[in-house]
Amino acid sequence: MNMLWSDLEFFDPWREVERMERVLSRLTARSRVEFPAVNLWLNGDEAVVTTELPGIEPGNIDISVIGKSLTLRGSRQTEEAGEGESYHRRERWYGKFSKKIDLPFNVDADKVSAKYSKGVLTLHLPRAEAEKPRKISIAAE
Mean pLDDT of the chain: 84
Encode pLDDT of 44-82 as tens digits.
Answer: 999 999 999 988 889 999 999 998 999 999 988 887 888
- The domain segmentation of the chain, as residue ranges, is 33-77+94-131
Encode pLDDT of 87-98 as tens digits.
Answer: 878 777 788 999
Task: Work out whether strand 46-52 and strand 38-43 pair parallel, antiparallel, or are unpaired.
Answer: antiparallel
CA dihedral 82, 84, 85, 88 (to 10 degrees): 160
Contacts of residue 128, defined as CB under 8 A and 6 or more positions apart, other chains included, come to 105, 106, 107, 108
Record the pTM.
0.68
Q: Which CATH number fits domain 33-77+94-131: 2.120.10.30, 3.30.70.270, 1.10.3210.10, 2.60.40.790?
A: 2.60.40.790
